[in-house]
């Protein structure tokens, strides 16, 4: 049986930094209020000429270089995003064109903050069955394009960023050991963008009403997120016959530092085993886990043989976890 693992990672962040002090000038908030409730100090904002696909290409090229392969070696490209360049065609198709990865399959996947883990799991299935040998998975978001800078519940949280990973066959014990994915649509209206689709097509009225901005009920989501992240993390460990004591590194979705701390405590993990960059990057939805993964890979925080647990919770609502031996 083929085992899928990471061959190379890469990330791309916009240069512009939006600090809490910057937001104090736009909305009724304060640096202390934001830090106390989210743990965020700053986040990135894409330049007008940057797109989800253009940043994705930068991250993908780094991942391909570090994996030691060419774009033409790819069998599949999966772009996990809820902020595509346009409704049609897929952002993955635009990335494929710019990379020159002619002939491979490419499609988008929308699972919000859980998107990269969903993409990893799809990649693992293709590789394990032999349908593909090298798969590029990208988590990419330019959420600043969907923010109402009068709504402090959302504009202080979300930022822009992209990261990519090349998956391929690896030798055991390395590779993806277990995964678990879930969706529960009954919470769909807790985090959503009302307009822009077939239910509410774009119009002058939808623009005037701010219906193209992210709407969130954060208090309602908090408890649901903590409970499900703990549960799904324990399930993947159980599938692999391991326990929290075996974990070397826990990379949670960077949604809110209070959520991270609550999940860490429930799992009984020490702070040293948890990676967090939310203070610097903010919440980049599907890009947050792969950005963390790339930072850990490039700084030596990840070592061969380390057991890595990744879990995420996002709009849909979706949640999931992946357990991997580096």
- The per-residue pLDDT for range 116-152, each reduced to its tens digit, is 999 999 999 999 999 999 999 999 999 999 999 999 9
State the chain's mean pLDDT as an integer: 97
What tens digit of pLDDT does each residue of 235-278 get? 999 999 999 999 999 999 999 999 999 999 999 999 999 999 99
pLDDT above 90 (res 221):
no
Domains of the chain with bracketed CATH? 4-172 (3.40.47.10), 176-325 (3.40.47.10)
- Give 92's DSSP letter: H
| CA dist., res. 160 & res. 153, Å (int) | 17
As a whole number of Å, the end-to-end CA separation of the chain is 18
Stated as kind and residue range, the H or E segment containing 123 is helix 115-129
pLDDT above 70 (res 11):
yes
* Sequence-separated (6 or more) residues with CB below 8 Å from residue 246: 237, 307
Give me 144's structure tokens: 């600043």
Mean pLDDT of 9-23: 98
pLDDT above 70 (res 6):
yes
Give me 190's structure tokens: 């807790």
Task: Specify the pTM.
Answer: 0.97
pLDDT above 70 (res 63):
yes
List the beta bridge partners of residue 8.
166
Return the number of other C-beta atoms located less than 10 Å from residue 65's C-beta: 13
pLDDT above 90 (res 223):
no
Res 213: pLDDT: 97
* Sequence-separated (6 or more) residues with CB below 8 Å from residue 129: 2
Closest CA to 82 of 181, 212, 229, 220: 212
- Residue 202's pLDDT band, with cuts at 50, 70 and 90, is very high
Mean pLDDT of 96-115: 97
- Residue 219's pLDDT band, with cuts at 50, 70 and 90, is confident
Give me 139's structure tokens: 């988590």
Res 2: pLDDT: 80
Burial class (CB in 10 A: 0-12, 13-18, 19+), 74: buried
Write the Ramachandran bin of 316: left for phi over 0, alpha for psi from -120 to 50, otherwise beta: left
Proportion of the chain above pLDDT 90, given as a percent: 97
| CA dist., res. 283 & res. 274, Å (int) | 16
Res 1: pLDDT: 65
| CA dist., res. 223 & res. 266, Å (int) | 13
Give catalytic residues, as residue numbers.
113, 253, 283
Mean pLDDT of 163-177: 97
pLDDT above 80 (res 218):
no
The strands making up 134-142's β-sheet, listed across from edge to edge, are 4-12, 160-169, 134-142, 76-80, 105-109
Give helix then strand counts, H and E, for the chain.
11, 13
């Amino acid at each position: 049986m083929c085992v899928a693992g990471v061959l190379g990672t890469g990330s791309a962040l916009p240069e512009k930094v939006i600090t809490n002090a910057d937001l104090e000038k736009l909305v009724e908030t304060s640096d202390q209020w934001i830090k106390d409730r989210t743990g965020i100090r700053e986040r990135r904002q894409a330049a007008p000429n940057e797109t989800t696909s253009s940043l994705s290409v930068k991250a993908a090229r780094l991942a391909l270089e570090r994996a030691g392969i060419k774009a033409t070696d790819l069998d599949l490209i999966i772009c996990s995003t809820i902020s595509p360049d346009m409704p049609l065609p897929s952002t993955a198709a635009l990335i494929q064109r710019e990379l020159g990865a002619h002939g491979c399959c490419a499609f988008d996947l929308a699972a919000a903050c859980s998107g990269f883990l969903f993409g990893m799991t799809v990649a693992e299935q293709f590789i394990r069955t032999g349908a593909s040998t090298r798969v590029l998975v990208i988590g990419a978001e330019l959420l600043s394009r969907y923010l109402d800078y009068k709504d402090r519940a959302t504009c202080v949280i979300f930022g822009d960023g992209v990261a990519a990973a090349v998956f391929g066959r690896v030798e055991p014990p390395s590779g993806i050991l277990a995964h678990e994915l879930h969706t529960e649509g009954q919470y769909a209206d807790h985090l959503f963008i009302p307009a822009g689709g077939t239910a509410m097509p774009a119009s002058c009225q939808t623009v005037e009403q701010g219906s193209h901005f992210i709407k969130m009920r954060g208090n309602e989501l908090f408890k649901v997120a903590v409970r499900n992240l703990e549960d799904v993390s324990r399930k993947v460990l159980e599938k692999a016959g391991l326990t929290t004591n075996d974990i070397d590194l826990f990379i949670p979705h960077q949604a809110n530092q209070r959520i991270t701390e609550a999940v860490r405590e429930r799992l009984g993990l020490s702070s040293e085993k948890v990676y967090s960059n939310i203070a610097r990057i903010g919440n980049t939805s599907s890009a947050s886990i792969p950005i963390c993964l790339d930072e850990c890979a490039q700084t030596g925080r990840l070592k061969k043989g380390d057991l890595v647990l990744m879990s995420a919770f996002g709009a849909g609502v979706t949640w999931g976890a992946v357990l991997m031996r580096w």
